[in-house]
């Protein structure tokens, strides 16, 4: 099976798409992303769909019809492959999150 993500140029992501990518990489739910980014849940879904489109990620199916990828996990993997995410970026955001400096009002 050929991976459709291996034969295209690195996509351009808007700052808002990159923010949502980082949020899913650190494991936030749609609801948490919505609260953190001051979006509706529909707004989060819209950004995720835009992100998947730019990263050329589709559900894909096995020969027996099972969903091939978890789209969020696949987006993070493809982003790392193309250098859109780095370990240092995630470490920085995780440290800020743990200190409560980048919570978007999610923690007390």
Residue span of the structural domain in which 37 resides: 15-99
Asked if the structure places residue 7 within a domain, the reply is no
Asked if the structure places residue 1 within a domain, the reply is no
Asked if the structure places residue 44 within a domain, the reply is yes
Asked if the structure places residue 8 within a domain, the reply is no
Asked if the structure places residue 80 within a domain, the reply is yes
The CATH number of residue 44's host domain is 1.10.10.10
Asked if the structure places residue 39 within a domain, the reply is yes
Give, for all 108 residues of the chain, the pLDDT tens digit: 334 444 456 678 999 999 999 999 999 999 999 999 999 999 999 999 999 999 999 888 889 989 888 999 999 999 999 999 999 999 998 888 788 765 554 544
CA distance 108 to 99: 12
User: What is the structure's pLDDT at 2?
Assistant: 39
**Structure tokens belonging to residue 1:** 């099976």
Specify the number of domains making up the chain.
1
């Amino acid at each position: 099976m050929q991976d459709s993500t291996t034969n295209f140029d690195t996509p351009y992501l808007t700052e808002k798409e990159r923010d949502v990518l980082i949020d899913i990489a650190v494991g936030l739910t749609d609801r948490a992303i919505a609260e953190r980014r001051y979006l509706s849940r529909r707004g989060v879904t819209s950004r995720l769909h835009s992100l998947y489109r730019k990263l050329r990620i589709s559900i894909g199916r096995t020969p027996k019809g099972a969903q091939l990828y978890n789209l969020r996990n696949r987006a993070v993997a493809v982003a790392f492959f193309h250098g859109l995410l780095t370990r240092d970026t995630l470490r920085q955001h995780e440290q800020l999150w743990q200190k409560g400096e980048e919570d978007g009002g999610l923690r007390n």
